[in-house]
Structure 1
Amino acid sequence: MTTALSIRRTAFLWLAGLMATIGICAAAASYLLVQSEAADFLDNQLRQIALYVGNERSTPAVGPDSTAQHDPEDDFVVQVWDASGTPLRQSHPAVEIARQSGTGFADIATDRDRWRVYTLAAPDRTVQISQDMSVRQELATSAALQAALPIIVLIPLSLLTLGWIIDRIMARLNRLAGAVAARDTTTDDPVPIGDVPTEVVPFVSAINLLLARLHGLLERQRRFISDAAHELRTPLAALQIQIDNLRHDDRDGRFSERLGELEAGIRRATGLVGKLLRLARYDAREAAPAPQPIDLVRLALDTVARLTPFAESRGIDLGITRQDKAVAQGALADFEIILDNLVENAVRYTPPGGVVDVAVSVVGREAYIEVSDTGPGIAEDDMPHIFERFFRARPQDGEGSGLGLAIAKAAAERQGAQLTLAMREDQTGLRARLLVAR
């Protein structure tokens, strides 16, 4: 499996490689050119000295500069012969460089060194100027390195500048990604393209087209659920009336059992229709009622009181284990829906003889309501899907519709609360926590 590089890393690697290659080639070319120029310059020095050197013997003048420190190896070797070949001048008697027969440059090797020699052969004299090749190489290399050094230094600086430029470019794409990620499914406005690079505008336009199609699909889905739920309420109510009439006419009770089963099925269908309508309202992002103070302990007590008959019918011990005083701001109806669904879900999936505990706790500026059960819990693979609609965790032999937790999650999001589910650590079972800000 291959991993695709990011646009930023790909652009940086390619441009950095290109700039490094250009810099290295430029530095190498500069080095070679400067070295060649330095050699030509030194050769010209040899020629100029040969042209203007005199025949007279001389001794070094004593003056202010006579004590200046210098490397004797850097000195030129000056040799002058007359027409008969008799030496007239020899600047370094210890250096023996053979006299050349013709005018021109030559590379001569002695026992100790290699020399670059220029010979000027005239009818009345021969002048020969020599320079140590190692000195020439040292001077040329130093000049070449000084010329290449700025390029070598500029390469890492240019790479840093390149990274900064790419970061600036990618920041616009990151802002675009953040704007798309922060959009709500109910938002109709397209993604703005004012700050989008020209090359990315077609991609953003395609995203806007896709979002428009998705919004239309979701709107049709919400409308279908709402319309279908509304249409189902009337025939279910009519069926309930017919059952009541049949039960009234069934004086000897011959059909009471079947009528009871039919009535239970209608109650389940009516409950499902009610949940679908509630989900449709949450999906439509209807404005929540005006917030009001909610006593969380009173809310928990009322919920337990409402669901105690249901818990007793299933042999479940339902109660409250902690009652910290806590008041939250929000819509009471939404909090009732959340807690009813959590407690009902816990009672429904806890086996007979189990326990369902409700606790109201306060930690700092936050309060939370916990619903803990002793049921089988939820498999780790099912946990990421637990708030999906119509999803029922294994085992699926219960009576639930798969909408209770989805409704509770939607109601919690509308109230700005945080709803989480996790396996209990002290024993088997599930713990649901509703966290609210006081």
Structure 2
Amino acid sequence: MDTSLPISQVDFSQWRMRVPADRYNSDEYAARERENLWMKVWQIAGRAEEIPSPGDWKVHRIFDQSFILVRGKDNAVRGFVNACRHRGNKMCEGKGNSSRFTCRYHNWTFGLDGQLLALAHPDFEGTIEEFAAPKSELGLLPVQVECFAGFIFMNPDRNAAPLSEFLGPVRHVLDAYRMEEWIATGTNVREEMDCNWKVVMDAFGESYHIQGVHTELVGLSDTSRERFAAFGDHCAAAVPFGAASNGDAEEDVRTILGVPVEQFPLYADVLPRFREAVEGYRDENGKLILPEGLAAKDLFRQLIRKDLTSKGYDVSGLTDTQMTDYQYWLLFPNIFLQVCAGDATIIINEPHPDGDHNRCIWHVMFLHWVPEAERSAKAEPVKVMPAGEHYPYHWVLEQDYVQMPIQQEGLRNRLFEDMQLTRSEPRVAHFHSALDRWMA
């Protein structure tokens, strides 16, 4: 991302800049989207830490389709259609731990690898092979499941290309963060939203709305210096930390010390050390004199790297800018990832299970690197909010939570035919162009 293009140099002619509103308000479009996209694309079904031990399992749903994700005795994570091969009875609900799966209807039993182990009446096994198929072919129906960066990815399309091909070079860029060592802490919430899932992707796919919705953040970044890069169907942006420097070291120091740690918890342990280090560079009159070539941001980044390394987090694969500059990823189709060294906000946006295109489910999780010995104690389990109840987010997310349903109300208007994008929204334009290809 350090060598990616400033958005002022991005070629916008490659994308559709007028986005039809029917993809937010049309039953017909939602039905096509279900079949062309959701039944064929790789999507996150949870974190591997949700099923840490052999026998742990959880159910994942997309619309009315239900799947079992289970960690086997060999520690591999597998996925199966949540239906008994006998008469299609649903096997599981929620999550749990089992040594095997037994259908409650007729007591057919399956192993953690999906293989059919036994029938309630062994004498019937011969009739199964006579009328249907050999017992070895009657295991639970598998679906493709792979783990990457600590996430469990699943694809309902059994003929889909592997996850590595779908992610492409994204995999190599994100590998350096070692997110498989991170855990959800603080916030890990699933709840309903009164808007289409793509409204969420659009909102978190641009920084343009900061000056309108998050005015408190305006001084902490210079969105005019945003950089953009495309990676197949996926894309990312990086906004340099802090406002553009005018060469005033004191002003740069004040900007850094003014970072709200509730929004940037990565900096909580480092800011006091930064303040102390800055004081060490003052002369007898209190004037700040930094060594030649050392800016305040450089000093801050050095201290962050030193702090994380001392705690056992390997940041050797990350650049200096990744110590402070968040990267903002849209991983197609439904993942927003705001990531910096040791710290990430993930928002996963899914269509509402009942198919209502005016609603969705969003899953917000804060991920942090934590020393291995502390992970089990600090891991935050997923909290599912009951329908009609709301989780109080940090003020920045709360502002977005309030804003997005307001946009959906506007998008419902039948005379509103399309959205007009600007040069401040390359990620949004790229996302919708990728969606066009899948829908075609």
Q: Would you tell me which structure has more helix in proportion to its own residues?
A: 1
In the superposition, the TM-score normalised over structure 2's length comes to 0.17
Higher-RCO chain (CA-CA 8 Å, sequence separation at least 6) = 2
TM (norm. structure 1) is 0.17
Q: Quick check: which has more Rg, 1 or 2?
A: 1
Q: Which has the higher strand share?
A: 2
